[in-house]
Amino acid sequence: MTKANPLPSQAELDELLSYEPLTGVLRWKVRSANCVQVGDVAGGFDDEGYRVVGVNHHRYLAHRVIWMMAHGFDPAELVVDHRDNDRANNRLANLRLATIGQNRANACSNNQSGLPKGVHKKRNRFQDRFQARINVDGVRKHLGMFDTPELAHEAYCVAAQKVFGEFWRAA
């Protein structure tokens, strides 16, 4: 959606929209359509929970528009990451540039098993063991086998802090 179309210029966006950095809200400065009034909150939400804004017949992720308005450049190949993982929280203090790997490290676990992030259950004939592993630059790394999910998760957390720095997330 957004990567195929380069963002409008900072000057063009500033003519159309105002941004409130403390609330993360974009508002229209102009009537962009019959149903839009000056001062209305710009855009709506997509199926993934991101706010999107239509400009010049293209839809853009609001957090990328905000980055362009605030910093004057299109982050292009980088991701604008939400520090708190709340896709609707577009406060400037919550946005930062990240690589795809850093963005994934900051993502919440979608583990359906109920085990902590980075932990996988391994069964053998005698007992259940828990494997700790981490993905780094698309490569899965084995961190060890443990007797409890807590110990495996602790190993994951130590590794994630080292590898991902400020982008690591325990859950």
Q: What are phi and psi of 26, to 5 degrees?
A: -100, 135
From 3.40.50.12780, 3.30.730.10, 3.40.190.10, 3.30.70.120, which CATH number describes the 109-167 domain? 3.30.730.10
What ranges do the domains of the chain cover? 10-98, 109-167
| CA atoms of 135 and 103, how far apart (whole Å) | 12
pLDDT tens digit at each of 171 positions of the chain: 444 688 999 999 999 999 999 999 999 999 877 888 999 999 999 999 999 999 989 999 999 999 999 999 998 889 999 999 899 999 999 999 998 888 887 776 766 677 888 888 888 777 789 999 988 877 899 999 999 989 999 999 899 889 888 888 777
Task: Give this prediction's pTM.
Answer: 0.75
Torsion of CA 31, 37, 38, 44, to 10 degrees: -90
Q: How far apart are CA 165 and CA 117, in angstroms?
A: 16
Q: How far is it, in rounded angstroms, from Cα 80 to Cα 74?
A: 10
CATH topology classification for 10-98:
Homing Intron 3 (I-Ppo) Encoded Endonuclease; Chain A (3.90.75)
